[in-house]
Amino acid sequence: MKIGIVILNYLNWKDTVDCVETIFNQSKKDLEIVIVDNHSQNESISELSKLYEDISNITILENSENMGFAKGNNAGIKYCKENLGLYNVFVCNNDVLFEDTTFFSKLTELNFDNDIGAIGTTIIGADGKNQNPVKLKINTYTLIKHLIEPILNEIGLKKLTVFMHQVAQFIKKKTQKKAPLSEYSSTVSKNDEEYFLHGAAIYFTEAYLKKADGFYPETFLYYEENILGIVFEKMNLKMLYIEDLKMNHKEDQSMALSFSNISKAKKRLLRRSIMIAIKVRFYSIGQIKKKFKDTKYKFKLINN
């Protein structure tokens, strides 16, 4: 089975080259690589073009502007679907390395149920820790907590956040009923734990890409995986984590939920993404699909 591989590049084209080289070494050869440059204001396009202009299974796209993580990747997914006829697409950061030369052969030979919309594997970061799966809840309470608590902490009201958490836990214990597994239809694991997949590398299957174009397109940066988990839940699709398949990621564990070490600009982006997640939590499936359908992508084809 032929699959598409979408690699998002922004500025650091050398990482992209390292990633592509490990794909060239794969035992599976029927792979279509789509490199999406997110309007880098450096030599990325010229360097990548020189390297790959004559390689038939590599397509280079240049977005008309920096669309951010979600839309940047989605541009490549749409190209795979509409121009290559591929609805099984592996999306990865440009700083991942596939040191297992049989990675894609094993991935495409997996047998899984028809309701599996995405597959993730072990991702070893620079700190030696596995980044997958992400075991965070995506219910309304957790989303609001992620939005409000850092703000209260920043303005010196940390004691209030502790009190609010204690009150919420007390109410939860008094009112909670054991939820049936069907409520967590977007997640599956060995112990029926609730999780979603890390956005550094996700294999989207036809079951999902027939309905949507990848990541929810309203965010610019941060929280894409959390929102994807909500979208899957509403579409009654599952995410599957495969521990035995492994890749390497040059970055450490994501600090997206830690406000202490990021700039004010990034804090604003994260808060905006969490607000979008809360909005999506209350959206209908129809509203979500309409957002995907109405989102436009402008890019130009650099080669092929």
CATH of the domain at 296: 3.90.550.10
Where do we find the tokens 């038939």? 56
The tokens for 233 are 């839940």
Structure confidence at residue 186 (pLDDT): 43
Could you give the residue ranges of the DSSP H alpha helices within 118-201? 140-154, 158-175
Domain annotation covers residue 150? no
Q: Beta strands 58-63 and 299-301: pairing type?
A: antiparallel
Q: Is residue 170 part of a domain?
A: no
Q: Which uninterrupted H or E stretch holds 62?
A: strand 58-63
Task: Tell me what the mean pLDDT of segment 125-138 comes to.
Answer: 92
The owner of tokens 């990541």 is 215
CA 233, chain centre distance (Å)? 15
What digits encode the pLDDT tens for the residues 210-246?
Answer: 999 999 999 999 999 999 999 999 999 999 999 999 9
Interatomic CA distance for residues 150 and 259, integer angstroms: 7
Q: Is 80 exceeded by the pLDDT of residue 151?
A: no
Compute the distance between CA of residue 148 and CA of residue 168 in angstroms, rounded to an integer.
Answer: 14
Q: Residue 261, CB half-sphere, CA atoms under 13 Å: how many?
A: 5
Say yes or no to pLDDT of 205 above 50: yes
pLDDT band, very low/low/confident/very high, at 154 (cuts 50, 70, 90): low
Assess if residue 12 is contained within a domain: yes
Cβ atoms of residues 231 and 286 within 8 Å? no
The mean pLDDT value for 136-148 works out to 81
| Contact assessment for residue 288 and residue 234, using Cβ atoms and an 8 Å cutoff | yes
pLDDT recorded at residue 223: 93
Residue 213 within any structural domain of the chain: yes
| SS3 label, residue 235 | coil
- Residue 52 inside a domain? The answer is yes
Per the domain annotation, does 196 fall within a domain? yes
**3-state DSSP call for residue 136?**
coil
Paired tokens of 217: 């397109």
The token pair at 17 is 């080259």
Which one-letter amino acid corresponds to residue 287? Q
pLDDT, tens digit, 9 for 90 and up, residues 284-304? 999 999 999 999 999 999 986
Q: How confident is the model at residue 182 (pLDDT cuts 50, 70, 90)?
A: very low
**C-alpha to C-alpha distance for 265 and 270, rounded to whole angstroms:** 9
Phi, psi of 139 (to 5 degrees): -80, 170
Classify residue 14: in a domain, yes or no: yes
Confidence of residue 181 (pLDDT cuts 50, 70, 90): very low
Would the pLDDT of 167 be above 90?
A: no
Q: How many domains does the chain have?
A: 1
Residue 206 located in a structural domain: yes
> Where in the sequence is the domain holding 268, given as residue range(s)?
3-141+176-301
pLDDT of residue 265: 83
Q: What is the CA radius of gyration of the chain?
A: 20
